Every structure is written in C-alpha cells, then in structure tokens.
Structure 1
C-alpha cells in the first residue's frame, strides 16, 4: 500500500522507474515510455531529415549499395549514422557501468537524463539550415537511439529493445504460432506465453502511437517537437539523480 501511494508522487515514481532494484512492472512501464519516445523520435527523424534513425539494418544495406553505385556521399552518411548509433550504445554502457562502480544505485537515471539532453540538442538542429546542420541532427538522433536501446537492454537484461520493432514483431508471430498450434493440437503441450504476448503488443502499440504523435508533432512544430520528448526523459530521470552517490566503492566484480 505504501509503495502504491508513492507511485502517485512524481519524484518517487521516477526513482522507482529508474532505480537499481528492478521489478517486472517497473521494467514494463519504463520500456513502454521509452518505446513511445523512440517511435516519436524515429518519425520525427523522417519528417525533419528524411531518414528513419533507428533502422541500422537499412543504413548497413545502403553502404554496399551506394559504394557499388559510386555514390560515396550517401554511403558516408549511412556510415555516420551507424557510427553515431554504436557510439551512443557504447557511451550508455560505459556510463551505466561507471556509475554502478561509483555508486551502485540510480545508475540508469543518468543514462536516460543524458538522452534527454541530447534530444534538446536535436531540437537545435532546426537552427542549422545547411548540410552540416542536418548531419549534426542526424548524428544526434542516432546517438540517442543507440543510447536508449543499450539502456533498456541493460535494464531488462536483454528481454526488450525499444528503438526497433523487428524483434518484437517476430516474437509476436512466434507466440501466435504457438497459440495456433495449441488450438489445433491441444495434446502437443505447446502453449503461448500470454504475459509476454501482452507486453509485446503493448510495446509495439507504444512505438506506433509514438510514431503517430511524432509525425504530427514534427510536421507542425519541426525540430522543436523534440522538446516535449526531452522533457519526458528528463522528467523520469532527473528526480533520481540526487540519490547517486558520487564516490567510488572500491573494486567489485560483475556487470550491469
């Protein structure tokens, strides 16, 4: 009962969402929020830059296609997007593990807060009208996507990823196949995981909803629509930052 009351207090809710003591419910809620933000930012990247910024498979495919076609500029842009995504994922891992070693608590809050700050930087992309400004905005958004994907991967112990839906849709298909198998051959012992299926539908729905909201927002406000997305991430992370103890605890094993 006490914990339920604390959830209705914004600061306490944020600390629970990004705390080091995880529960399936907090993972589920945080993943839903991040999937919504990722969907909105991904749609925003298309409207603002003409590029989907969470699809590294597409960028990876562009490199050989355009290298063979002699379009080195587009191949270079694809390489920049992949590099920024990898850099974001690597930075997220570095930051989370460093804070885990330093304080052992709230180490996810800082990573999400940094993503919010970079979304604020992405909002400034509209101030640059030339090619360099667009490249800056593209790199920023890919860096954010890499950070977010790595953060939720670490938080959920690789159970969910929020910046792309291919894996989630594949898992939905697997569970639907298991459900059909159970219906056709009840004695087979194959059953769908109803809880997992519900979570997957929710995350895909959050990504899709975020995409619709982002498409509308960026179509009307341009880069400035990144501001409310940044405030969402900062709102769930900043209240937990004061709880971080910025001191080393000495050498410890393990990974986060």
Structure 2
C-alpha cells in the first residue's frame, strides 16, 4: 500500500479488537465489549418505550400471547423487532462475506461501523423526534443492531459465543458448575471436568450485559437518548483502525 501522510496509531489493545488478526483473547474481549453494549441498548429501549430489543425468545412468546389476548400494538412491535433482528443478522453476513471475498482485513470493522453509526444517529437525534410512531423506529433500529452484533460475534468466535442470548449463557454456566460439582470416581476412565476458563468468560458476559443494563437505565433517566453516544463512541474507536488500512490518504 502507498500512503500520502505519516500518521501512526498507538498499538492499544482496544484498537486491535476488530482487526483481521484474531486469537481467542481478542475474540473474548470483543465479546465483552459487545455484551456491555447490548445491555445498554436493551435497557435504553425498555426504559424509553417499554420494550426489550435483544430477547427474541421472549418477544416471540409475547407475539403468540398477544395474538390471543388482542394486544395489537405489542404484536406489531414484536413482529417488527423479530424482522429487524433478522435483517441485522442478514446485513452482517452480507458485509462480512463481501469483505472476506475481497480479502479485506476490515471485515469485522465494517459491521461495527454500521452498528456505531446507527447507534450514533439514535443517540443524537431520537430526543428531537416527536412524531407518534417514534417507538416503532427505535425498536426497529435497536433490533437491527442487536442482530448485527450477535451475528458478528458468532462469525468471529465460530459460533461459540453470543452477546445477547443470556438464557443460553446462564444454561452453559449451570452446565459448567455441574461439571465442577460432580464427584469423579477413582476408576473413571474419562473423568468429568469443568472448564473454569469458559465459566469465567460466560459469567463475565452475563455480568457485563447486566452492568450495561444498569448504566443504560441510569443514563437514560439522567440524560435521555444522548447516553447512547457512549457505546457508539466505543464502537467507532474499535471499528476505525482496521478501516484506515483501506483509506489511501492515511497511514497507520
């Protein structure tokens, strides 16, 4: 590559989270960040419009219940959320595979950039929108972002990590705790062993999702949608460095 300038980015770990070079540690730390972001977005969505945007199991069940109970608004919001979560995951796959086919090192960063821009727009403009159906737009955008980042970390970790599926993570925590509690016999050829590293990672993901939820709720009550500028800024910070490799007038 040729460059017109000479600007060197610091070699911070945070700036390498979305790079093409991957290892288990980078994947885990990217998942931690995205779990925290998901917690913030989920909480802001609920406090703002009374609707969770990451919980597809609950939303699907809610749509079924409300079809019977006659809750037209909740059925509509549920269908919109499922559709846009699906579209977000589809968009992630399209972006990721487009970049992978071209051997681009910013295939993870492209998805994070899209997510960051959408969250930035919501954080900067949602308080200014006063039209009656604002909640529908908010649910659609947040669910799209949730679908994107869940699909991204699935790609990055080869389907071993999720950032919004707390039910699955708590289930896996229970499995690992059960393995640790199991008393092996001396004669066991294949003793049961718990994976303490996996247990710690899953616990951290759940804890960060919870922490993001607390901070999102407190921030929204105090500041409104502008609180979303914080996760948007972090996502931009992670996404931009790999993208600079493909900008001809910049140097790393």
| TM-score using structure 2 length | 0.88
CA 1:239 to 1:63, structure 2 compared with 1: closer, same or farther past 3 Å? same
Aligned to 1:226: 228
Task: Note if 1:125 corresponds to 2:126.
Answer: yes
Aligned to 1:77: 77
1:99-129 residue CA offsets vs partner (Å, 9 max, x unmatched): 1112332210010111000101222222223
Aligned to 1:34: 34
The 5 A counterparts of 1:21-170 are 21-123=21-123, 124-170=125-171
* Structure 2 SS opposite 1:81: helix
Cα distance in structure 2, aligned partners of 1:83 and 1:65: 18
Contact 1:20 1:105 in 2 (8 A): yes
1:232-256 residue CA offsets vs partner (Å, 9 max, x unmatched): 100111121021489xxxxxxxxxx
The alignment's C-alpha RMSD in Å is 1.8
CA 1:186 to 1:104, structure 2 compared with 1: closer, same or farther past 3 Å? farther
Contact 1:116 1:234 in 2 (8 A): yes
Q: 1:201 aligns with which of 171, 181, 203?
A: 203
Contact 1:172 1:200 in 2 (8 A): yes
* Structure 1 SS opposite 2:133: helix
Task: Note if 1:215 corresponds to 2:201.
Answer: no
| TM-score using structure 1 length | 0.87
Shift of the alpha carbon at 1:143?
A: 0.6
Cα distance in structure 1, aligned partners of 2:10 and 2:198: 28
Could you list the runs of 5+ residues in structure 2 that have no partner in the other structure? 1-8
Task: Note if 1:180 corresponds to 2:181.
Answer: yes
Cα distance in structure 1, aligned partners of 2:59 and 2:238: 31
Number of residues paired by the alignment?
A: 237
Contact 2:88 2:148 in 1 (8 A): yes
Task: Note if 1:241 corresponds to 2:228.
Answer: no
